[in-house]
């Protein structure tokens, strides 16, 4: 037996054969299968937890509830997460980031000089937001309430996520200022005003259910346009007057 570069070579009358390559491949195959099963289990736990949190909220959900829906034991759950707070934090962070990414994609190519295009992008933005809200009302409500008593660290993390949303919009506002389309406003201030207005309407939509998402969307579009138009420069007004809008 001769070992070269981690391989074993067997000498025989028929020549030299490398005998450990197959076992190495077998081990690699087993490892891949194990990784796949672990990922499938993880995805199943997250999906089950999302469903339970969305239906019953954070405080009315127990680890055993998640395990039962996922079809696993509580012990298996703890192989992946420390507790229900751990998985809830992961779900909320991933969901907030996914919605943020989708909204950034929607807003990435619009023409601020074209009023009709801005209306179109606003409608698409609020559609993304309400699609998520309708699918995950309890999760979004807890995020809106900045943790709703989970703990201070979660409260800060959630607020940080919403601040990132505001930061994205502040970047847009800064570009409009530089292009001379608007004036007399601090980007981060206007962005938080937009965000606060939207989140208050969303909160009422979830809790009080006094208006439809269509009504909320149209109202948000008009109010967003109104806030934006309040800071238009002469140049900005001329550009927008050339595209009167589709309202």
Q: Give the length of the chain.
A: 247
Q: What is the pLDDT of residue 9?
A: 46
pTM: 0.71
pLDDT digit string (tens) for 193-214?
999 999 899 999 998 999 999 9
Report yes or no: 216 and 130 within 8 Å, Cβ to Cβ: yes
Q: What is the pLDDT of residue 244?
A: 55
Q: What is the pLDDT of residue 3?
A: 45
Q: How far apart are CA 136 and CA 49, in angstroms?
A: 12
Q: How far apart are CA 195 and CA 40, in angstroms?
A: 36
Report yes or no: 183 and 233 within 8 Å, Cβ to Cβ: yes
Highest-scoring range by mean pLDDT, 33-37, 65-69, 200-204: 65-69
- Band of the pLDDT at 4, cuts 50, 70, 90? very low
Provide the 10 A C-beta neighbour count for residue 218.
15
Distant-in-sequence, close-in-space partners of 203: CB < 8 Å, separation ≥ 6? 141, 144
Q: How far apart are CA 23 and CA 7, in angstroms?
A: 10
Q: What is the pLDDT of residue 118?
A: 86
Domain borders along the chain are: 24-81, 84-241
Phi, psi of 206 (to 5 degrees): -75, -45
pLDDT digit string (tens) for 119-167?
999 999 999 999 988 988 877 776 776 555 567 777 777 777 888 889 9
Percent of the chain topping pLDDT 70: 83
Alpha helices in the chain (DSSP H): 21-56, 63-70, 74-78, 84-107, 115-135, 137-144, 152-178, 187-207, 213-229, 234-241
Pairing of strands 15-18, 2-4: unpaired
Cα 86 to Cα 92, 142, 185, distances in angstroms: 10, 15, 40
- Band of the pLDDT at 103, cuts 50, 70, 90? confident
Q: What is the pLDDT of residue 241?
A: 75
The class (CATH top level) of 24-81 is: mainly alpha
Torsion of CA 219, 220, 226, 231, to 10 degrees: 180
Torsion of CA 21, 22, 24, 30, to 10 degrees: 160
CATH number of 84-241: 1.10.357.10
| Tokens coding 130 | 């309400």
């Amino acid at each position: 037996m001769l070992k070269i570069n981690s391989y074993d070579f067997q000498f025989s009358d028929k020549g030299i054969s490398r005998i450990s390559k197959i076992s190495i491949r077998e081990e690699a195959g087993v490892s891949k299968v194990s990784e796949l099963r672990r990922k499938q289990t993880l995805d199943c736990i997250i999906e089950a937890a999302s469903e339970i949190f969305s239906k019953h909220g954070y405080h009315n959900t127990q680890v055993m509830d998640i395990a039962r829906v996922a079809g696993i034991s509580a012990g298996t759950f703890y192989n992946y997460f420390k507790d229900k707070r751990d998985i809830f934090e992961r779900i909320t962070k991933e969901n907030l980031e996914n919605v943020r990414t989708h909204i950034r994609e929607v807003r990435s190519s619009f023409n601020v000089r074209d009023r009709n295009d801005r209306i179109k992008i606003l409608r698409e933005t609020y559609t993304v937001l309400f699609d998520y809200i309708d699918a995950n009302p309890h999760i979004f409500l807890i995020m809106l309430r900045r943790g709703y008593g989970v703990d201070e660290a979660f409260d800060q993390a959630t607020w940080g996520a919403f601040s990132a949303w505001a930061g994205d919009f502040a970047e847009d506002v800064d570009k409009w200022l530089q292009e001379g389309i608007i004036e007399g406003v601090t980007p981060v201030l206007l962005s938080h005003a937009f965000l606060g207005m939207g989140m208050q309407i969303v909160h009422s939509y979830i809790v009080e259910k006094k208006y439809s998402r269509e009504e909320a969307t149209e109202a948000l579009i008009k109010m967003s346009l109104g806030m934006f138009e309040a800071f238009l420069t002469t140049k900005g007004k001329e550009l927008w007057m050339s595209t009167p809008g589709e309202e």
